[in-house]
Structure 1
Amino acid sequence: MKAYVFPGQGSQFKGMGLDIYQSSEAARTLFDQANQIVGYDLTRIMFEGTDEELKQTIYTQPAVLLHSVVLALTTDAFAPDRFDVSMVAGHSLGELSALTAAGVLSFENGLTLASIRATAMQRACELAPSSMAAVLGLPDDVIEQICAGITDEIIVPANYNCPGQVVISGSLKGIELAAEQLKAAGAKRVLPLAVGGAFHSPFMESARDEFARAVEAMPFSTPRCPVYQNVNAQPTQDPETIKANLIAQLTAPVRWTQSVENMAAAGATEFIECGPGKVLQGLVKKIVPSVTVLAV
């Protein structure tokens, strides 16, 4: 069984999508439509922009979704008349890409929601200083206990990426306090991440509210295959459940480890990354070493 997985923010790179733009007429049409949908020259930023420009959340999220969805929609596996995908999942922003590829959202609405999400999260980041850090080499429960024990600052587990790699999210002081305790508990490393703010934490509450209004106003269709969502790592094909989980995701942790484990338990033997970079291929192989990992 084939599972397609879609990356999130952090997988972007300068020149992303240019190869498929130059080689596929269908891709060119979608890229050109995307510029009209978002209201600025997104493809110029992807193809020619500086690294700093591409790292800005307001551009990164639409760019990663666009690259991922164009790959999916120009791949035979996602063609409506010969759909050959058993299940999909996306990491954080990638969940929107997965929903668009699986037919829950139209191309226009998927890209519109990515742009709204990015803008809302950027605004939330500007309200208060916050950040994230990757914790390597500690069990999940130890990280959870240490974060829960810091009560005078906001600090929470944000991304369960793979065994031995969890990202924490919170205030700058919270990151500092947690890092000290995590290292004392035996963490191999605690690496600050170059991000705009504390994603998947209470710092994103204002973004969640803004995003929720946009999601509720959009039509959601039944996906062509089960979608494993970040908030609970469970499959669903119910549009209303998908909406609720997509909204909750902004302030809830990304349960990627659990999602991949559940997809493998449901019969997935091939995990195919659809989007820029190779991050998810590496994570999947660490979570379930027995499966085959590929890229579109």
Structure 2
Amino acid sequence: MEIKLTSQLSALAHPQRLALFRLLMRRYPDAVPAGEIATALAQKANTVSAYLSTLSAAGLILSQRQGTSLLYQAHLNGLRGVFDQLLSDCCQNRPDICTPPDHETALIPTAERPLNVLFICTGNSARSIMAEAILTQEGHGRFIAHSAGSQPATAPQLEVLALLRAKGHDTATLRSKHLSAVSGEVAPQMDFVFTVCNHAANEACPAWPGQPMSAHWGLPDPVMTRGTEAQKQLAYQQAYGLLRNRIRAFAALPFDTLNRLSLQHHLDDIGRHKATERS
């Protein structure tokens, strides 16, 4: 076991391998093609292949074949093993390091203390804007929804605003803004941070104060749809439907019965939900 721990720590000690592993953690539960990883890290394909091989051998990532492509995913059990070995027996005399999950403070949204939820995508003009509007409505005052982008557009897409208004959402306060607008000293402390596009999840995000819970809820960008006007409108409808399904599932979680570990599993499961709704 000591040999395995040494190999795992050695695999993560290399800055670029660590960056790759962090990318896969941000994208979890997605499995990501090697080519997309290379593009995101601005590395050559053969270099990334070597990094992936080292991390796989250390038991920190998993691979699966899809057609002719290999997809890679963070191996959470492997990562847990690293911490288990590093902190073995610490709870016998260091509870300040290893607090059992059941003792952690629960996150319970109420009208008196609504929880702050941030949705991130690159442009903050479509998916994250939809998510902000949907949670504002579906949260019934128990959540305060925010959205931002790493490379924000000048304004939300007109098609998005029209769709939201047609579905009964108030769009008066929706605007595209940079992550810095919601991560500064005067910004509200986030309780949840969700990435809704793969590109944003591939990027390194700010260090959020208070360690908010996070998950990746990626979905295709409707703005990139090519084809007829009807096909483009359908793409916006499908994105809206998928986000609404996920946000409804999130808002309906039994927060008062979930510790953080259980809650994280639910958040990841919601990100795996692919069904769409057109209404």
TM-score, normalised with respect to structure 1: 0.24
Structure with greater Cα Rg: 2
More contact order relative to length (CA 8 Å, sep ≥ 6): 1
